[in-house]
């Protein structure tokens, strides 16, 4: 499997983002334990659920990208080099 500096950078960025989001999730869980207002608790639970879903999507996308690159010869990295202005969302 070929890796490029861009791919390594993307992976590191994703890990940092997920670490930050995980920290936010931990703080929300801490607040949730102390909160008495049921409406606020419900909103916090929904935010935590959204965070979990977002992290899962990131992990799924990274797995897909790695597998796709293996099958199609580093396709995603070639797209990144050919069209450097594409955002991560546009590449997906």
Check residues 17 and 37 and name the one with the higher pLDDT: 37
- The residue among 71 and 33 whose pLDDT is bigger is 33
Q: Which has more pLDDT, 58 or 30?
A: 30
CB 32 within 8 A of CB 44: yes
Spatial separation of the C-alpha atoms in residues 2 and 68, rounded to whole Å: 12
What global pTM score does this model have? 0.57
Rounded Cα–Cα distance for residues 4 and 73 (Å)? 13
What is the predicted pLDDT for the residue at 5?
Answer: 60
Q: What is the DSSP string of 52-81?
A: HHHHHHHHHHHHHHHHHHHHTTSHHHHHHH
Contact 54, 62 (CB under 8 A): no
- Residue 23 token pair: 């920290």
Domain edges within the chain: 5-91
């Amino acid at each position: 499997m070929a890796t490029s500096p861009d791919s390594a950078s993307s992976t590191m960025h994703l890990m940092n983002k997920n670490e930050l989001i995980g920290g936010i999730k931990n703080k929300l869980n801490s607040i949730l334990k102390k909160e008495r207002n049921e409406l606020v608790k419900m909103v916090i639970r929904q935010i935590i659920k959204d965070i979990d879903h977002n992290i899962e999507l990131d992990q799924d996308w990274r797995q897909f990208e790695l597998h796709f690159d293996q099958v199609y010869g580093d396709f995603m990295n070639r797209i990144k080099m050919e069209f450097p202005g594409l955002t991560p969302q546009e590449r997906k």
